[in-house]
Each structure stands twice: as C-alpha cells, then as structure tokens.
Amino acid sequence: MISTALTSAASSAPALYVNSAGLAAVNGAFFLREPSIVPVGFARTCIEMKWDVDETWRRLSYPDKRWYEAENDSYIYFNRLDSNWWLDGPDGAGAYIVPGDLHSPPPLSGWASLRGVPKPDPILTLV
C-alpha cells in the first residue's frame, strides 16, 4: 500500500516556489516528496471518483520520480501518461500543466491553465 502525504510539510527547506498564479491556492513554497507517498489532494480526487488510489497513482506517476507538495496540499507531479507536469490545487483538481522532461525539474515558465482556472499562469522559482 502506498502511504498518503501528511498535511504538514517536512522540516526540509522548500525545493521551489510557485508565484503569480491566478489560482491563489497554488502560490507558495513546495517541498520534495518521495514517490511512494500519494498526494493528499490526489487521493481525495480518486476517492471522490471511486478510483483505487494506489493503482491510479502508480499508473500516472513514475515509481522513482519525486514530486512537490505545498503545506495546503497543492502538489506538482510528472504525469507519465501525457508527459506533462501537473500543478493541482489542494482539492486535487488539475489547475495548470506544462510539457516537460521526466529527468528535469518542472519548467519555470510555459504553464497553461486548464479550463475554468483563472489566469495568469504560474511562474516557478527553483531553490
């Protein structure tokens, strides 16, 4: 069974910051998380949709690719099915995506908002 992330951030320093996003909930500091941990918002969405949480996380994420989480449960991960980085809000709903590379951190710019998500699109700063 894959464990679910805790809502409190680890004691480590932030790995990146999200700024300028029209969806205010995704702005802020993000911390690296291990791939064996499922984002809280992701699990929440799976449960609402009646999807198996662990199976869905294994299908969409890479088993050795770390992801990023904010203290409010917003998260960023690389989706293996569409090769995009996804920035999801604390409710688990997708907000912004950007094409990316599995072997690189999320791109700093070029993010696009999904339907109904307010602009401007986010800008990331790596720490």
Q: pLDDT tens-digit profile of 19-44?
A: 999 999 999 999 999 999 999 999 99
Residue 54: closest CA among 73, 38, 33: 38
The pTM (predicted TM-score) of the whole model is 0.90
Residue 62's SS3 state is coil
Give percent of the chain above pLDDT 90. 89
With a cut of 50, say whether residue 3 has pLDDT above it.
yes
Q: Report pLDDT for 12.
A: 74
> Are 77 and 45 spatial neighbours (Cβ–Cβ below 8 Å)?
no
With a cut of 60, say whether residue 104 has pLDDT above it.
yes
Binning pLDDT at 50, 70 and 90, where does residue 10 land? very low
Side chain identity, residue 21 = A
Q: Report pLDDT for 44.
A: 95
